């Protein structure tokens, strides 16, 4: 069962910013209803105030729809909301003209002020929202300018002085431009957050690619030299064999020896690649987390631990760090290695996980697949080879802890405790 607010905590940082941005645009619509529609009840009779409030509410609803569709269009999820924007233009014109009619033919007094507020307000909000659905500075300025000119032209039936019409048009230009700039800045900020998140993923992929290149270079260094020697000695053996020289056998024996040596060296390279040294993995985790802007705290001694224990715990550090980067939203990660009653205990704790269900990966939700297994199952298999155990789960609000314990042989335990003391 999800805890209250769990829907928010499971979101990534870009998704949280997008949700905040989307509801900010909706909140603009609520402000429009409160500022233009509800306040009409204090300025005129209940009948006209209700009519004005309903008109403003309908206009605000269309603004919310257009802003939401424009946000999806900006993120590449929907086509450009051209029809919805034209619908907003039509609704804005209808509401404005109706407000003009009410101000002209309705009872004199404060009803003119209420209708005038609705008239100018809906045009300002519409100008700010429609700019979300267009690209380019010139087009956005043209949208705001068109609404400002329209606001001035629609005042002629009221027989307003020319100066008053110009002032009203300028007010729509300034207010609509401010709303447009605020909305566009919100979109820019959202896109920047998504770009930073993509860069974070790219950094992880580059780290994997760099490791593959390192492995390829190691294999090339091992095999390139030996294969060249094998080719030369094989050619020499062929020439000696054609001449009937007994040295050809010796050369082929040397080729056989080099081939066997190459097999051993390749196995050593692959074994070193597959085995994860705990000290190396701790240093690598510290560097990768720091590069990702995550505060890392790594404590503990690894000297004196058997190679198989270091390899198993090294994989835990590698998998946990990778999944914190891929799936979590952590600000701080703490990795601790300690000796306790003949056992080595590795703890990886981060503050970027709110919900973890079932057999998810260490350090975050999801189902990332790691080398040698999927999530916690793969790590448990590796630890079981050294009689180790693994526990993982949330331990507090937004905190996820992974604990691996591996028993130490008596001799290794004594040596490790001696180093720690």
Q: What is the pLDDT of residues 98-155, one digit of tens each?
A: 887 777 766 665 556 677 788 888 888 899 899 998 888 888 899 888 888 888 877 7
φ, ψ at 243 (rounded to 5°): -90, 0
Burial of 407 by CB count in 10 Å (0-12 exposed, 13-18 middle, 19+ buried)? middle
Q: What is the pLDDT of residue 61?
A: 93
Tokens of 252: 């082929």
Q: Provide the residue count of the chain.
A: 421
pLDDT number for residue 371: 38
CA distances from 323 to 204, 274, 294 (A): 10, 19, 13
pLDDT for the residue numbered 410:
64
Neighbours of 13 (CB within 10 A): 14
Residues forming beta bridges with residue 299, ordered by sequence position: 336
pLDDT at 353: 62
Name the helix (H) or strand (E) containing 350.
Answer: strand 343-350
Mean pLDDT for all residues in the chain: 79
Look at residue 64 in the predicted model and tell me its pLDDT: 93
Helices and strands per DSSP (H, E), number in the chain: 12, 7
- What's the pLDDT score for residue 412? 46
Residue 356 pLDDT? 39
- Check residue 111 and give its pLDDT: 57
pLDDT of residue 403: 92
Ranges of the chain with pLDDT below 70: 1-6, 43, 105-113, 156-161, 208, 211, 221-222, 225, 269-276, 291-292, 327-328, 353-375, 410-421
pLDDT of residue 362: 45
Compute the distance between CA of residue 331 and CA of residue 248 in angstroms, rounded to an integer: 67
Which pLDDT does position 101 carry in this prediction? Answer: 78
pTM reported for the whole predicted model = 0.55
Residue 86 pLDDT = 93
Q: Say how far apart CA 108 and CA 360 lie, in whole Å.
A: 68
β-pair type (373-374, 389-396):
unpaired
Q: What is the pLDDT of residue 405?
A: 92
Phi then psi for residue 369, to 5 deg, are -100, 130
For helices 110-130 and 13-32, angle between their N-to-C axes, nearest 10 degrees: 160
Give the pLDDT score at 373. 38
Tell me the β-bridge partners of 332.
Answer: 295
């Amino acid at each position: 069962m999800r805890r209250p607010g769990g829907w928010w905590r499971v979101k990534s940082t870009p998704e949280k910013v997008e949700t905040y941005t989307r509801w900010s645009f909706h909140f603009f619509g609520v402000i429009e209803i409160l500022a233009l529609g509800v306040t009409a009840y204090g300025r005129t009779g209940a009948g006209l105030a209700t009519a004005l409030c309903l008109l403003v509410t309908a206009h605000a609803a269309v603004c919310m729809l257009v802003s939401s569709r424009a946000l999806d269009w900006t993120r590449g999820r929907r086509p450009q909301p051209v029809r919805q924007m034209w619908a907003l233009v039509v609704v804005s014109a209808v509401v404005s003209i109706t407000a003009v009619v009410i101000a002209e033919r309705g009872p004199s007094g404060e009803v003119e002020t209420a209708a005038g507020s609705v008239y100018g307000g809906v045009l300002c909000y519409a100008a700010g929202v429609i700019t979300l659905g267009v690209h380019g500075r010139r087009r956005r300025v043209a949208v705001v300018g068109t609404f400002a000119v329209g606001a001035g032209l629609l005042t002629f039936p009221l027989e307003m002085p020319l100066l008053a019409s110009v002032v009203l048009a300028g007010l729509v230009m300034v207010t609509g431009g401010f709303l447009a700039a605020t909305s566009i800045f919100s979109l820019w900020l959202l896109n920047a957050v998504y770009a930073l998140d993509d860069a974070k993923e790219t950094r992880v992929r580059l780290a994997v690619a760099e490791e593959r290149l390192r492995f390829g270079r190691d294999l090339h260094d091992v095999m390139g030299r030996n294969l060249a020697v094998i080719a030369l000695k094989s050619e020499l053996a062929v020439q000696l064999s054609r001449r009937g020289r007994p040295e050809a056998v010796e050369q082929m024996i040397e080729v056989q020896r080099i081939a066997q040596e190459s097999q051993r060296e390749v196995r050593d390279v692959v074994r070193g690649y597959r085995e994860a040294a705990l000290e190396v993995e701790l240093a690598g985790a510290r560097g990768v987390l720091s590069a990702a802007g995550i505060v890392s705290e790594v404590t503990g001694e690894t000297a004196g631990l058997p190679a198989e224990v270091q390899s198993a715990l090294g994989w835990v550090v590698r998998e946990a760090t990778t999944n914190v980067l891929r799936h979590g939203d952590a600000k701080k990660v703490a990795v601790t290695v300690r000796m306790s009653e003949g056992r080595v205990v590795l703890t990886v704790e981060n503050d970027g996980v709110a919900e973890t269900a079932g057999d998810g990966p260490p350090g975050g939700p999801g189902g990332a697949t790691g080398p040698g297994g999927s999530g916690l199952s793969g790590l448990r298999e590796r630890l079981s080879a050294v009689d180790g155990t693994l526990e993982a789960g949330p331990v507090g609000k937004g905190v996820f802890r992974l604990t691996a314990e591996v028993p130490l042989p008596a001799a290794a335990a004594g040596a490790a405790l001696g180093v720690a003391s």
